[in-house]
């Protein structure tokens, strides 16, 4: 392809890698010199209350790796802090660029921000080129026979798989074109303090960082992928890929992961591919039903459910002090690591809404502040699924029993004991419902409930009819 653009600017956002990168590939093929940049968007950063936010540190490490990789081939990464609406046109001018390349973002704020930038550049005859990169299929690529978006997962998945098998998955090999990266030296990477944040505990939770870390996880998961369908539901064993944060920030390529799933050809890999398709499904819901980005339920009739919203119960849930060990272990895992096992996300979301009768939006917001892999589309989709207010959600009368979930998916209490160590003296029967065994023989029980660990803050059996009545009133 002819390099008909002299200088161009590549804007990295949630695609923090230099391989299988659509916008980078296109920029390198169309340009004589490509300058790469990343902007810490202060409009986003200002909303982050936790100053040792693990996500910022994850991004920082990914940028450090990219900068080093670019330095090794004589190029560099431009990193700025501020408002992209001002900074992108400024960088275009500074580096005498005649085009901006970027991968699409599907969230409302990003769409409006990008539109402003595009309009500003257009006035100076600067072209903006946008590409699909963070999903396999986007927006309206997969539609029903009536050309409307899918709202039920299974037919969407079937159509998605059919399209993959018919069209294949195109990857973008940037390596042959990296000679077209601009040769220059930029200022050193700013510190976390310069950005307005401070170090988290990310280095102590053994999370592999950057693209190299993502590839380490991929290599490890390939040895386990065949058992994914069996092991993924058990938080006490190494069953999942742990790639969600790398997917979120694009340190790995979704196309790369989908090809691995397709080529492995096992029941486990098919189940994993199914999870990747759920991710696409929620992205297209975000694009085609934008009202869910405004705190509204997918199903309008459930928008104003009369939740009890007891603040004391919500605080107990946040701290992992509900008296339900599997719930408390999951919340403590989230609070201490920024990660929560997917099975626990379902159990814990259902518990908040249907046992504690608290608005799902309270839980969605808490997860958005603490999950290292927080993604608006998947987080909203998961919470509305659990709350029975979303598209293709579980019926409102289907209510997880936290005791049965605990006994089934953490049978020996291995996971519970890791995050709720005050229960480590309990046997595998006692650990799922300590209050029942304590009440039978309080003087002989290994721990003192109410002191060492709380009594259950609600009775599951009594809460179930309440939540069913709440939904019936709105139906």
- 171-185, pLDDT tens digit by residue? 999 999 999 999 999
- Residue 36 pLDDT > 90, yes or no? yes
Calculate mean pLDDT across residues 216-223: 97
The residues, ordered by sequence, that sit 6+ positions from 59 with a Cβ below 8 Å of its Cβ are: 16, 40, 249
Calculate mean pLDDT across residues 268-292: 96
Per-residue pLDDT at 395: 84
Per-residue pLDDT at 3: 73
User: Measuring CA to CA, which residue among 307, 394, 387 is closest to residue 348?
Assistant: 387
- Residue 1 pLDDT > 60, yes or no? no
- 389-448, pLDDT tens digit by residue? 999 887 888 899 999 999 999 999 999 999 999 999 999 999 999 999 999 999 999 999
- 190-215, pLDDT tens digit by residue? 999 999 999 999 988 889 999 999 99
Tell me the whole-structure pTM to 2 decimals: 0.96
DSSP string, 368-436: HHH-TT--HHHHHHHHHHHHT-STTPPPTT----HHHHHHHHSTT-HHHHHH-GGGTTS-TTGGG-HHH
Calculate mean pLDDT across residues 311-328: 98
Output the average pLDDT for the chain.
Answer: 96
**53 phi and psi angles, rounded to 5 deg:** -60, 125
- 448-471, pLDDT tens digit by residue? 999 999 999 999 999 999 999 999
- 84-124, pLDDT tens digit by residue? 999 999 999 999 999 999 999 999 999 999 999 999 999 99
What is the C-alpha end-to-end distance of the chain, expressed in Å?
Answer: 58
Per-residue pLDDT at 256: 98
* Percent residues over pLDDT 90 in the chain: 96
- Residue 248 pLDDT > 70, yes or no? yes
Q: What angle do CA 300, 302, 303 make, to 5 degrees?
A: 65
Residue ranges and CATH numbers for the domains of the chain are 5-133 (3.40.50.620), 135-171+213-288 (1.25.40.80), 300-474 (1.10.579.10)
Which residues lie across from 453 on neighbouring strands?
Answer: 449
Structure tokens of 446? Answer: 């290994």
d(CA 276, CA 135): 9
Calculate mean pLDDT across residues 375-399: 92
Per-residue pLDDT at 99: 98
């Amino acid at each position: 392809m002819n390099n008909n653009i002299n200088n161009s600017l590549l804007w990295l956002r949630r695609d923090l890698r230099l391989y299988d990168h659509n916008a980078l590939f296109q920029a390198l093929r169309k340009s004589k010199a490509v300058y790469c940049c990343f902007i810490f968007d202060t409009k986003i950063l200002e909303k982050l209350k936790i100053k040792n936010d693990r996500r910022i540190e994850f991004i920082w490490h990914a940028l450090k790796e990219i900068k080093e990789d670019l330095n090794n081939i004589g190029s560099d990464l431009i990193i700025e802090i501020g408002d992209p609406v001002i900074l992108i046109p400024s960088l275009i001018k500074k580096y005498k660029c005649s085009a901006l390349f970027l991968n699409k973002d599907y969230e409302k704020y990003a769409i409006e921000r990008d539109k402003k930038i595009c309009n500003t550049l257009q006035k100076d005859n600067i072209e903006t080129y946008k590409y699909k990169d963070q999903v396999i299929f986007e927006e309206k690529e997969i539609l029903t026979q009536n050309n409307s978006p899918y709202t039920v997962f299974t037919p969407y998945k079937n159509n998605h798989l059919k399209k993959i098998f018919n069209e294949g998955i195109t990857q973008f090999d940037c390596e042959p074109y990296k000679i077209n990266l601009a040769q220059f030296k930029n200022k050193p990477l700013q510190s976390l303090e310069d950005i307005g944040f401070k170090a988290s505990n990310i280095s102590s939770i053994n999370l592999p960082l950057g693209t190299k870390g993502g590839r380490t996880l991929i290599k490890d998961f390939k040895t386990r992928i065949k058992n994914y369908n069996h092991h993924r539901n058990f938080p006490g064993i190494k069953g999942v890929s742990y790639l969600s944060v790398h997917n979120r920030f694009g340190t790995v390529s979704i196309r790369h992961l989908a090809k691995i799933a397709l080529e492995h050809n096992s029941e486990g890999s098919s189940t994993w591919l199914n999870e990747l398709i759920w991710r696409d499904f929620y992205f297209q819901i975000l694009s085609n039903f934008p009202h869910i980005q405004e705190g509204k339920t997918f199903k309008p009739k459930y928008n104003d459910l009369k939740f009890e919203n007891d603040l004391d119960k919500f605080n107990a849930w946040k701290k992992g002090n509900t008296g339900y060990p599997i719930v408390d272990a999951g919340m403590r895992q989230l609070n201490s690591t920024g990660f929560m096992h997917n099975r626990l996300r379902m159990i814990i979301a259902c518990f908040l809404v249907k046992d504690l009768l608290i608005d799902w939006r309270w839980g969605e917001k808490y997860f958005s502040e603490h999950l290292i892999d927080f993604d608006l589309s998947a987080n909203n989709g998961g919470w509305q699924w659990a709350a029975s207010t979303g598209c293709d959600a579980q019926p409102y009368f289907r209510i997880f029993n936290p005791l049965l979930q605990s006994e089934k998916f953490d049978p020996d209490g291995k996971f519970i004991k890791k995050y709720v160590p005050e229960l480590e003296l309990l046997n595998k029967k006692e650990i799922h419902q300590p209050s029942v065994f304590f009440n039978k023989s309080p003087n002989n029980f290994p721990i003192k409930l109410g002191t060492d660990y709380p009594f259950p803050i609600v009775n599951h059996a009594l809460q179930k009819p309440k939540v069913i009545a709440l939904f019936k009133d709105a139906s």
